[in-house]
């Protein structure tokens, strides 16, 4: 028997899903019977059943007393699924159009605001792996000449994000250097990435230990990712800094670590 959450994926409310499951188990049911079996308030059950009928999941038997019967779920749910997919595609198109319109209309407001003196305008704090992952990929896509990266476990990004984060700059011929901790070679996933990407232009060296995760993009921006020491599961806070002095300092630290690290032989 499917659960309520499965039917909710097709756009049914919890009451509609409960009523539909109740109807499936009987040849026909009156509204009070549906209310009792599905534990739906009697004042709501009539609207719920009419909504199910409108969605093609049940039929109304106009008799005394009025009753409802479920339609074959094989066909009814397939049609409902097609309608749901179409509606989601329309919603996606509406969302994209709204994003484009808002970006166009709010862009001048943002540009005007840059004229205000904000001493922290060059600092952006990010929490949550999804937000950090999106920003990291955007920074990698915007890099023009080189990326210097310190990589240590645990990883923030998933396998697909990590691959894109490195493959995008490499595909454009950027100089990409990555420092890994020697223990990374004990991780089959990381070792596989290192082998694969070093064959596509990634220059890898191995250090005994790295102090933190860091990616410096050109001379313009640096992304620092710090693990929360108090979290039960790995949690991270990332800081994006657009300050040439800070980026220069982090690149100097990277060069110091790079010189003392051993080249990866493959």
Q: Residue 26 above 60 pLDDT?
A: yes
Tell me: do 127 and 40 sit in the same domain: no
Asked, for residue 116, whether it belongs to a domain, the answer is no
Give the pLDDT confidence score for residue 120 in this predicted structure.
Answer: 53
Helix, strand, coil fractions of the chain, as percent rounded to 5: 50, 20, 30
Tell me: do 183 and 251 sit in the same domain: yes
Tell me: do 129 and 254 sit in the same domain: yes
pLDDT range class, residue 18, cuts 50, 70, 90: very high
Tell me: do 137 and 107 sit in the same domain: no
Q: Residue 34 above 90 pLDDT?
A: yes
DSSP 148-174: EEEE-SSPSS-HHHHHHHHHHHHHTT-
Asked, for residue 199, whether it belongs to a domain, the answer is yes
Asked, for residue 118, whether it belongs to a domain, the answer is no
Residue 75 belongs to domain with CATH number: 1.10.10.10
Domain that includes residue 189, residue range: 123-263
Average pLDDT of the residues in 90-107: 87
Residues with Cβ < 8 Å from 205, sequence gap 6 or more?
A: 177, 178, 179, 180, 258, 261, 262, 263, 264
Tell me: do 104 and 157 sit in the same domain: no
Q: Residue 15 above 80 pLDDT?
A: yes
Q: Residue 164 above 70 pLDDT?
A: yes
Q: Residue 197 above 90 pLDDT?
A: no
Q: Do strands 146-151 and 175-181 pair parallel, antiparallel, or not at all (unpaired)?
A: parallel
Cα(39)–Cα(217) distance, rounded to whole angstroms? 59
Give the pLDDT confidence score for residue 216 in this predicted structure.
Answer: 93
- The string of pLDDT tens digits covering residues 99-141 is 888 888 887 877 776 655 555 558 888 887 778 878 888 888 8
Residue 246, CA distances (Å) to 68, 80, 199, 216, 220 in order: 70, 56, 31, 10, 9
Give the pLDDT confidence score for residue 30 in this predicted structure.
Answer: 92
Residue 222 belongs to domain with CATH number: 3.30.870.10
Structurally, the chain folds into a number of domains equal to 2
Tell me: do 169 and 67 sit in the same domain: no
Cα(36)–Cα(39) distance, rounded to whole angstroms? 5
Cα(198)–Cα(154) distance, rounded to whole angstroms? 21
Asked, for residue 200, whether it belongs to a domain, the answer is yes
Asked, for residue 176, whether it belongs to a domain, the answer is yes
Tell me: do 95 and 217 sit in the same domain: no
pLDDT range class, residue 2, cuts 50, 70, 90: low
Asked, for residue 212, whether it belongs to a domain, the answer is yes
The verdict on pTM exceeding 0.85 is no
Cα(265)–Cα(204) distance, rounded to whole angstroms? 9
Tell me: do 257 and 135 sit in the same domain: yes
Tell me: do 259 and 133 sit in the same domain: yes
Domain end among 87, 111, 135? 111
């Amino acid at each position: 028997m499917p659960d309520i959450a499965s039917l909710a994926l097709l756009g049914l409310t919890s009451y509609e899903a409960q009523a539909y499951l109740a109807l499936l188990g009987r040849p026909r049911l009156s509204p009070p019977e549906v209310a009792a079996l599905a534990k739906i308030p009697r004042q709501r059950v009539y609207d719920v059943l009419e909504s199910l009928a409108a969605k093609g999941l049940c039929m109304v038997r106009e008799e005394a007393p009025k009753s409802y019967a479920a339609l074959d779920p094989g066909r009814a749910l397939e049609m409902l699924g097609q309608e749901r997919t179409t509606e989601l595609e329309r919603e996606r198109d509406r969302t994209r159009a709204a994003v484009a319109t808002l970006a166009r209309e709010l862009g001048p407001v943002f540009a005007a605001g840059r004229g205000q003196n904000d001493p922290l305008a060059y600092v952006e704090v990010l929490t949550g792996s999804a937000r950090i992952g999106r920003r990291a990929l955007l920074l990698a896509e915007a890099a023009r000449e080189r990326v210097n990266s310190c990589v240590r476990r645990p990883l923030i990004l998933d396998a697909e994000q990590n691959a894109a984060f490195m493959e995008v700059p490499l595909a454009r011929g950027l100089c990409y250097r990555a420092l890994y901790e020697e223990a990374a070679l004990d991780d089959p996933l990381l070792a596989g990435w290192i082998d694969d990407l070093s064959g596509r232009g990634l220059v890898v060296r191995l250090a005994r230990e790295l102090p933190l995760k860091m990616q410096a993009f050109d001379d313009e921006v640096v992304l620092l990712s710090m693990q929360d020491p108090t979290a039960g599961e790995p949690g991270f806070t990332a800081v994006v800094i657009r300050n040439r002095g800070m980026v220069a300092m982090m690149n100097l630290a990277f060069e110091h670590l790079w010189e003392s690290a051993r080249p990866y032989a493959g």
